[in-house]
Amino acid sequence: MRAVVFKGVGQIAVEDRPVPKIIQPTDAILKVKCSAICGSDLHWYRGHMSLPTGFIPGHEFVGVVNEVGNDVKDIYVGDTVVASFSAQCGNCFYCKKRMTSCCPSNFLFGNSADSRSIDGGQAEYVRVPYADATLVRAPTSIPENMLVLMGDIFPTGYFAASRFLKHVPEQERRQTSVAVVGCGPVGICAIATALHWCDTVFAIDMVPERLAEAERLGAKPLLLTADPAATIMAATGNRGVDVALEIVGTPDALYLCLDLVRPFGSISSVGVQTAPLKLDGPSIYGKNITIAWGKCPVRGIFDEALDCLVKVQNKVAFLCSRTMKMEDSVEAYKLFNERKAHKIILTL
Amino acid sequence: MRAVVFKGVGQIAVEDRPVPKIIQPTDAILKVKCSAICGSDLHWYRGHMSLPTGFIPGHEFVGVVNEVGNDVKDIYVGDTVVASFSAQCGNCFYCKKRMTSCCPSNFLFGNSADSRSIDGGQAEYVRVPYADATLVRAPTSIPENMLVLMGDIFPTGYFAASRFLKHVPEQERRQTSVAVVGCGPVGICAIATALHWCDTVFAIDMVPERLAEAERLGAKPLLLTADPAATIMAATGNRGVDVALEIVGTPDALYLCLDLVRPFGSISSVGVQTAPLKLDGPSIYGKNITIAWGKCPVRGIFDEALDCLVKVQNKVAFLCSRTMKMEDSVEAYKLFNERKAHKIILTL
């Protein structure tokens, strides 16, 4: 089969690889229909994350089930399915509580960091462990070309926005103010979710094009370099926002959220934090701040995220507008790395 | 009137002071019945917090209303009342949302840190600003000698324990495991609250006498120096507890909570954090941790905390067993500072 392969920093190639086989009886093999390049793929492409070469990337993919192991019960050959960005067992303490991102038996697609990393979906075929607990049959409520968003970025944006907002009593939700730090594709999905519930969403980024997209959704765009805290304080009676979303993954983005949020406010941080965080004890205590960190449990929240995507699909459809052939992946990665496309979907 | 007065590090005196007068029409003057010495009074007594001398301490007190200003509507002369540890306006954004600890117009009793500090209740009389929003008439559901607990430590312990536990679905609550780091009087109140809901509560401290008290309540005592994390991991299938409570106010206590809590777990931190906190970004992201910091909004949660105290009063009654005369406060502070009493109630 043809597959994208990581060859070294800034280098991928499209090569011939053996078609994957069923290894465990809970596996399925998919014939891939499409896969997406995600912002987190740039971590290894740019060398910010140093990974052994040779793996097949891609943790957002949609395909048709081609083969299933003997223990697969709920997924059938011929089903069109989407996978979550990591495979999870479905049976452990965390999976049963829908905290699937913390399943200790999970496998991350499209990575080679450790023994829990497996080849991904930027290929003609992909092996999916724990098929019953990892794959979801294509719902009819969204167009198939948007389904790839449900593998990672839409649920992640939804998770960022919903963690605190869904606990705000319904009659107070529209008046709840939100700041979103980071307006890449996940930020856009978070903004669309937040605007579905709240009237006032501030969008902060340093890329004007991203801010323009956020503004088209209905958010108030604030350039990072133009003192967004001052604007937000002026707009909120000098209090700050009720909820801030950190979608960048740097300490500075989290510190900005701490400045933007009001006393007794909440911060939801889904950016991949890779550095130490230094927090000021007295001010975080004095402000009664709550911070929730972490990776989205895509499979655990799939149904509620999908319900939301159905409602906001027109707003985020533009994320799926750029399609290229998988054979042209070298060019696709180059364009994506140069930020000439916010999302590229590779088709076969 | 007679009053306790802060004279310098390690020194208080009982002196004559003028009886306070109504200053604002929303004030009330109480004739004090009793006031308590709180662990946080040791901050200035020991000099850990450097405060100007001359103020009257005491932020936990019960009294009878002696006089009210013209704008006081709900509190009457002759009422027996308890105050929250700080006075709040009752009308602002935060007060209306029951986040009374963040009222920007608040006054802290028994302190001299800044212009928002006022004389406290370790005296014959005390002036209470915003009487309607600060005082609560003595409920009949608990004995009057326990009412002083409702000024600070019981609501604070309740707040620590309830912040996350009250959102756990009822059918899962008994199986939820909790670790409490710090078993002073607030810790005891948190343990009593947690045990009211959950079967498994680990109590961690370095003082064996405190652990013995926690054990009598039904908690599992773990000496800080005897690797509590190892015991907790072994007892929880190597996962960690669902919820950890930080009731000390040091970075190390918070870091211990991070070690004790399971992935997707929550930490409630009510200890007064006075130093920088250094968190490991990758592990706090990877573990999907949520931390809520901050000061208890005593008045905002008074009713629910009282409901809980009514139910657990027999367990925490021992905190009110040590009574001394206010005239003997020099000795009382000395005993309290030497940890020869966990709580001392000064009577008039």
Chain A positions with Cβ closer than 8 Å to B? 93-94, 97, 99, 101-102, 167, 237, 239, 251, 263-264, 269, 271-282, 284-295, 297
Cβ atoms B186, B209 nearer than 8 A: no
Query: Do A11 and A118 reside in the same domain of the chain?
Result: yes
pLDDT value at B239 more than 90: yes
pLDDT at A344: 96
Query: Do A142 and A245 reside in the same domain of the chain?
Result: no
Query: Do B136 and B174 reside in the same domain of the chain?
Result: no
Q: Which of B278, B292, B295 sits opposite A290 (nearest CB)?
A: B292
- Residue % of chain B over a pLDDT of 70: 100
Query: Do B51 and B134 reside in the same domain of the chain?
Result: yes
Contacts A299 to B, Cβ<8 Å: none
Tokens at B140, concatenated: 């009949």
Strands A125-128 and A28-37: antiparallel
Q: Distance between alpha carbon B176 and the CA centroid of its chain, in Å?
A: 24
pLDDT at B342: 80
Q: Which of B273, B287, B288 sits opposite A284 (nearest CB)?
A: B273
The nearest CA of chain B is from the CA of A105 a distance in Å of 14
Residues 6+ apart with CB under 8 A from B242: B168, B176, B177, B178, B261, B262, B265, B266
Q: Distance between alpha carbon A75 and the CA centroid of its chain, in Å?
A: 24
What CA–CA distance (Å, rounded) separates B179 from B194? Answer: 9
Strands A290-293 and A261-269: parallel
Q: What is chain A's mean pLDDT, rounded? A: 97
At B313, which CATH number? 3.90.180.10
- Note whether A294 contacts B279, CB cutoff 8 Å: no
Query: Do B162 and B279 reside in the same domain of the chain?
Result: yes
What CA–CA distance (Å, rounded) separates A192 from A219? Answer: 9
Cβ atoms A210, A183 nearer than 8 A: yes
Query: Do B92 and B133 reside in the same domain of the chain?
Result: yes
What CA–CA distance (Å, rounded) separates A209 from A205? Answer: 9
Query: Do A276 and A165 reside in the same domain of the chain?
Result: yes
Residues 6+ apart with CB under 8 A from B129: B24, B26, B27, B87, B107, B118
- Note whether B280 contacts A279, CB cutoff 8 Å: no
Reference B85, options B301, B323, B268; nearest CA is: B301
Query: Do B145 and B200 reside in the same domain of the chain?
Result: no
What CA–CA distance (Å, rounded) separates B97 from B41? Answer: 28
User: What separation, in Å, do the N-terminal and C-terminal C-alpha atoms of chain A show?
Assistant: 11
pLDDT value at B104 more than 90: yes
> Across the strands, what pairs with B223?
B205
Contacts B295 to A, Cβ<8 Å: 285-286, 288
Looking up tokens 């939801």 gives A268
Domain end residue (candidates: A247, A263, A293): A293
Q: Distance between alpha carbon A108 and the CA centroid of its chain, in Å?
A: 13
For residues B333-345, give the mean pLDDT.
92
Contacts A279 to B, Cβ<8 Å: 276-279
pLDDT at B145: 87
**Which tens digit of pLDDT belongs to each residue from B19-46?**
999 999 999 999 999 999 999 999 999 9
Cβ atoms B264, A97 nearer than 8 A: yes
pLDDT value at B177 more than 90: yes
pLDDT at B19: 98
pLDDT value at B271 more than 90: yes
How many domains, in total, are found in chain A?
Answer: 2
Question: Cβ of A139: how many Cβ atoms within 10 Å?
Answer: 16
Q: Which of A94, A275, A284 sits opposite B293 (nearest CB)?
A: A284
pLDDT value at B115 more than 90: yes
Query: Do A131 and A189 reside in the same domain of the chain?
Result: no
Contacts A287 to B, Cβ<8 Å: 102, 293-294
**Which tens digit of pLDDT belongs to each residue from A247-258?**
999 999 999 999
Question: Cβ of A113: how many Cβ atoms within 10 Å?
Answer: 13
**Which tens digit of pLDDT belongs to each residue from A152-194?**
999 999 999 999 999 999 999 999 999 999 999 999 999 999 9
pLDDT at A144: 86
Q: Supply the DSSP symbol for A275.
A: S
- Note whether A251 contacts B286, CB cutoff 8 Å: no
pLDDT at A341: 87
Contacts B290 to A, Cβ<8 Å: 290-293
What CA–CA distance (Å, rounded) separates B267 from B330? Answer: 37
What CA–CA distance (Å, rounded) separates A305 from A297? Answer: 11
pLDDT at A145: 87
Contacts A295 to B, Cβ<8 Å: 285-286, 288
> Across the strands, what pairs with B63?
B32, B81
Distances (CA, A) of A149 to A41, A155, A157, A297: 15, 8, 10, 14
Looking up tokens 């999916």 gives A128
For residues A74-95, give the mean pLDDT.
97
- Residue B55: which domain range? 2-152+297-347
- Note whether B285 contacts A269, CB cutoff 8 Å: yes
Query: Do B177 and B93 reside in the same domain of the chain?
Result: no
pLDDT value at A274 more than 90: no
Assign B173 to helix, strand or coil. helix
Reference B264, options A316, A169, A36, A159; nearest CA is: A159
What CA–CA distance (Å, rounded) separates A133 from A204? Answer: 36
Tokens at B303, concatenated: 């009713």
- Residue % of chain A over a pLDDT of 90: 97
Contacts B292 to A, Cβ<8 Å: 288-290
pLDDT at B144: 86
pLDDT at B179: 98
Query: Do A8 and A145 reside in the same domain of the chain?
Result: yes
Q: What is chain B's mean pLDDT, rounded? A: 97
Closest CA in chain B for residue A279: B277
Strands B241-246 and B177-181: parallel
Reference A159, options A312, A321, A299, A315; nearest CA is: A299
What CA–CA distance (Å, rounded) separates A205 from A211? Answer: 6
Chain B positions with Cβ closer than 8 Å to A? 93-94, 97, 99, 101-102, 167, 237, 239, 251, 263-264, 269, 271-282, 284-295, 297
> Across the strands, what pairs with A178?
A201, A243
At B189, which CATH number? 3.40.50.720
Contacts B294 to A, Cβ<8 Å: 264, 284-289
Query: Do A111 and A197 reside in the same domain of the chain?
Result: no
- Note whether B277 contacts A278, CB cutoff 8 Å: yes
